[in-house]
Amino acid sequence: MARKIIIDTDPGQDDAVAILLALASPEEIKVLGITAVAGNVPLALTAKNARIVCELAGRPDVPVYAGCDRPLGRKLVTAEHVHGKTGLNGPVLPDPVMPLQDGHAVDFIIETLRREDAGAVTLCPLGPLTNIAMAFEKAPDIMDRVAGIVLMGGAYFEVGNITPAAEFNIYVDPQAADIVFKSGVDITVMPLDVTHKALVTRARNDAFRALGNRVGVAVAEMTDFFERFDKEKYGSEGAPLHDPCVTAYLIRPELFSGRHINVEIETRSELTLGMTVADWWRVTDRAPNAMFMGDVDADGFFALLTERLARL
C-alpha cells in the first residue's frame, strides 16, 4: 500500500532528484501534492522549479502550490551560490506549462490533513520549515493527524554548511524549525551527518548519464553543477544528495541508521542560530523527540536511485 505524502520543497537540484525518485516509485509513494517554500532561491523560482521537475517526470497532474515567501520572523537567506541563479542550474529545461494551483500551500497542507484519515499522510519537508510551522500554528488540530515528518535538515557531527554551526534549511527559519521539533509529531531527520555520505562520485554521475533517458541526463547535469560548491569547500568527491535521502528512506528505510534522541533548535544566539543541538550521547534528561540519522548505505542508496530514475 503506497504511503501518501506531501513534499514541501525549495528546488534546488537535490530537491529535484528527491521529487523524481518519489514520482518514480508509485508502489511505495503517492504524492498528494507538492508545496513550494522560499529557500535555496525565492518562492517564485521554487514554485516554478517544482513544476519544471514534475513535467520532467512526465507528471503535470501533480498539484503544486506556492507557500511562504519568507521565514516566520527573519529576512530570507537564499543559496544561489550553491544552486545557481535559477536554483536549477545545470540542465536546460523548458519553462513549465502546468499552472500553479490556486490557494496557499499552507491551506493545502491543512485541508489535506483534515480530509485524509488520521495517520495517513506523511509530510516530507526538503527546505526551510516555514510552511509546516505555519500550518501547525494555523490549525493545531492537524498535528495529531500527521503520520510523521521525514525531513532533510540539521547537522551534529558534520556541523554547519551555511554557518559554522547551522545547516541551511534550519538556519533560514530557526523559529519554524523550533515549532516543528516541539510539535510532538513523530520526526525522522536526515542531517548533513548522513547526506554528506551520499556523494555523487564520477562513477555514480556516469551511471545517471548512462541511463539514456532525459531524466538521467538532466540529473547528471544537475549534480555536475551543484557539486562545485561542496568539492571546493569540503574537497568532497562530489555533490551530496541531501534531499533524496528523505525519499529513499520512505522506500528502503533499512538503508539508514540513527538514534531516537532529543534535538532542539538554537533560536536566540546569533553565533549558533539554527544549530540542531542533538543529544546524541544522551547527556541530558530532555525527552527524545526525533529519529536522528547518522549513517547510510551509500552504494545501496545510489543503486536504488539509479534503478528508479531509469523508470522515468
**Interface with ligand RIB by CB under 6 A: which range of 10-18, 136-144, 248-256, 273-281?**
10-18
Using the minimum distance from each CB to ligand RIB, give the nearer residue, 59 or 242: 242
In this chain, which stretch among 11-19, 61-69, 177-185, 199-207 interacts with ligand RIB, using CB under 6 A? Answer: 11-19
Q: With binding defined as CB under 6 A, does residue 91 bind ligand RIB? A: no
Q: Does 12 bind ligand RIB (CB under 6 A)?
A: yes
Within positions 269 to 308, which residues make up the interface with ligand RIB, using CB under 6 A? none
Q: Does 84 bind Ca ion (CB under 5 A)?
A: no
- The binder of Ca ion chosen from 7, 12, 160, 174 (CB under 5 A): 12
Q: Is 87 in the site for ligand RIB (CB under 6 A)?
A: no
With 0-12 / 13-18 / 19 or more C-beta atoms within 10 angstroms meaning exposed / middle / buried, residue 298 is middle
Question: Annotated catalytic residue: which of 81, 196, 242, 260?
Answer: 242
Taking the C-alpha atoms of residue 195 and residue 241, their distance in angstroms, rounded to an integer, is: 6
- 242 classed as catalytic: yes
CA distance 187 to 306: 27
Q: Which residue lies nearer to ligand RIB by CB, 142 or 309?
A: 309
Q: Of 64, 39, 40, which is closest to residue 50 (Cα–Cα)?
A: 64
Q: How many residues does the chain have?
A: 312
**Minimal distance in Å, beta carbon 18 to ligand RIB?**
8
Q: Applying CB under 5 A, does 224 fall inside the site for Ca ion?
A: no
Q: Does the footprint of ligand RIB cover residue 242 (CB under 6 A)?
A: yes
3 state SS of 108:
helix
d(CA 15, CA 9): 7
Site for Ca ion in 238-257 (CB under 5 A): 243
Pairwise CA distance, residues 46 & 15, whole Å: 10
To 10 degrees, what angle do helices 13-23 and 214-234 make? 140
* Angle, CA of 52, 309 and 1, to the nearest 5°: 95
- Counting residues that bind Ca ion (by CB under 5 A) gives 6
**Helix (H) or strand (E) segment spanning residue 228:** helix 214-234
* Per-residue binding letters, 121-150, with ligand RIB (x by CB under 6 A): -----xx-----------------------
Q: Pick from 65, 136, 156, 168: which binds ligand RIB (CB under 6 A)?
A: 168
Q: Any contact of residue 167 with ligand RIB (CB under 6 A)?
A: yes
Number of H helices, E strands in the chain: 12, 12
Helix or strand run (H / E) with residue 276: strand 276-278
Quote the CA–CA distance of 79 and 86 in Å, as a whole number.
10
**Chain residues in the site for ligand RIB (CB under 6 A):** 10, 12, 14-15, 39-40, 126-127, 152, 161, 167-169, 242-243
**Chain residues in the site for Ca ion (CB under 5 A):** 10, 12, 15, 126-127, 243
Hey, which residues are catalytic here? 242
